[in-house]
């Protein structure tokens, strides 16, 4: 799962939360303003809508709702 943040100022992604809980950095990678959440991490989550918060060094955090489900069927 790749989430891309658009910003009109020089910005960096500084972290990721699901709900109010920080996601371990081993579960995602950051490349500029592109955050990739590992499929192995997503597979540990229960099916349904999850609200992720992308933390930035400048400005307000960005939220994204991701629907988790089994696609192997």
Report pTM. 0.88
Contact (Cβ atoms closer than 8 angstroms) between residue 56 and residue 5: yes
pLDDT in tens, 7-38: 888 899 999 999 999 999 999 999 999 999 99
Q: How many CB atoms lie within 10 A of CB 40?
A: 9
Q: Enter the DSSP assignment of 3.
A: E
Residue with tokens 């950095």: 25
Both tokens assigned to 36: 């990739």
Domain extents in the chain: 2-68
Q: CA-CA distance, 34 to 3, in Å (whole number)? A: 6
Contact (Cβ atoms closer than 8 angstroms) between residue 67 and residue 46: no
> If pLDDT is split at 50, 70 and 90, which confidence band does 73 have?
low
């Amino acid at each position: 799962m790749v989430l891309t943040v658009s910003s009109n100022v020089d910005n960096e992604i500084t972290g990721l939360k699901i709900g109010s809980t920080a996601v371990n950095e081993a579960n995602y990678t950051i490349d500029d303003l592109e955050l990739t959440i590992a499929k192995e991490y997503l597979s540990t989550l229960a099916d349904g809508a999850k609200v992720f918060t992308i933390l930035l060094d400048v400005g307000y955090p960005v939220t994204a709702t991701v629907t988790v489900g089994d696609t192997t069927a």
